[in-house]
């Protein structure tokens, strides 16, 4: 069975600092990988996705993620964090079947200090 682990429940960074949020997955084949962001009181919004090709994926709001097959990881990065990036971040793994149900990690809460 597939699984997703986000080992950090909370991450605190200072505004302007770089950010890396970790995501490890378990899946038998090449997965489809997603990062979503949830601002307070809102639904989830897609940041970026990977399913083939270049292992470094660019997303919205200046985020990027790198797929590393050997480490079963898909870490999210941003070179300089803004206060508006404070939110909950979710990593998810999917697969090709139309009825496939994606698996989500438990999320990482990002706190940004001024």
Which spans of this chain sit near other proteins (rule: CB under 8 A)?
9, 32, 34, 36, 41-46, 49, 51, 90, 92, 94-102, 104-107
Q: How far is the CB of 12 from other proteins (least distance, A)?
A: 17
Q: How far is the CB of 41 from other proteins (least distance, A)?
A: 8
Nearer of residues 15 and 88 to other proteins, judged by Cβ: 88
Nearer of residues 45 and 80 to other proteins, judged by Cβ: 45
Q: How far is the CB of 55 from other proteins (least distance, A)?
A: 16
Please, which residues have CB within 8 angstroms of residue 42's CB and are 6 or more apart in sequence? none
Nearer of residues 93 and 112 to other proteins, judged by Cβ: 93
d(CA 96, CA 101): 10
Q: How far is the CB of 73 from other proteins (least distance, A)?
A: 18
Nearer of residues 38 and 75 to other proteins, judged by Cβ: 38
Q: Strand locations in 1-114, DSSP E?
A: 3-5, 10-14, 19-21, 24-26, 32-38, 44-50, 56-58, 64-68, 73-78, 87-94, 103-104, 108-113
Please, which residues have CB within 8 angstroms of residue 27's CB and are 6 or more apart in sequence? 2, 72, 93, 95
């Amino acid at each position: 069975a597939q699984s997703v682990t986000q080992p950090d429940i909370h991450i605190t960074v200072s505004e302007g600092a770089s950010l890396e949020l970790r995501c490890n997955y378990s899946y038998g084949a090449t997965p489809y990988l997603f990062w979503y962001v949830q601002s307070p009181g809102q639904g989830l919004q897609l940041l970026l996705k990977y399913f083939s090709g270049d292992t470094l994926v660019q997303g919205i709001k200046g985020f990027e993620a790198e797929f590393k097959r050997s480490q079963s990881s898909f870490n999210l990065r941003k070179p300089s964090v803004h206060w508006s990036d404070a939110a909950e971040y979710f990593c998810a793994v999917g697969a090709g079947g139309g009825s496939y149900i994606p698996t989500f990690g438990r999320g990482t809460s990002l706190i940004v200090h001024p």
